[in-house]
Amino acid sequence: MTIKDDLAAELKDAMRERDGARADVVRQINTEIQRVVTAPGFDAEPDDDLYRVTIAAYAKKMRKALVEYEGYGERGAEAAAKLRFEVEYLQRWLPESVSAADLGEIVDAAIAELGASDPSAIGRVMGHIMKNHDGLDGTAVNRAVRERLSSEG
């Protein structure tokens, strides 16, 4: 079953069960896909890879917004709860995230390969890692690279 088919089934189930939160997030993903498909220059058929990339981008935006709403305390609690649900719900279509230990190994290998030894090489190391490892969270990679290079310098 493709992700598109899976989302269609999820939407039907959510509507049947009157689960507004689940229906909303599925509809939003479908809207995000439509934006990509109707963009000038896009001429391919939407496949699972497109869905994964789109879902990952949307989940990343929602994680950033979640942090902001959590900062509002009680005023942002309702919105934060909605965003938390969306991020958790969408995880099933995203690849497994890399553990901190595995990320550390990737960073150490890139630093060694590039011969980086101080914080001025952060951008070069980041670029190398992101180019060679699909699906990594750029923020986590940046944090790990900064920690490694700051402790070496």
Q: Report all structural domains of the chain as residue ranges with CATH numbers, in order of start.
A: 3-93 (1.10.1510.10), 100-152 (1.10.10.410)
The 10s digit of each residue's pLDDT in 7-35 is 999 999 999 999 999 999 999 999 999 99
The 10s digit of each residue's pLDDT in 107-141 is 999 999 999 988 899 999 999 998 888 777 777 88
**Mind giving me the DSSP string for the chain?**
--HHHHHHHHHHHHHHTT-HHHHHHHHHHHHHHHHHHTSTT--SPP-HHHHHHHHHHHHHHHHHHHHHHHTTGGGGHHHHHHHHHHHHHHGGGSPPPPPHHHHHHHHHHHHHHHT--SGGGHHHHHHHHHHHSTT--HHHHHHHHHHHHHHH-
Please tell me the pTM assigned to this model. Answer: 0.67
Instruction: State yes or no: pLDDT of 5 exceeds 90.
Output: yes
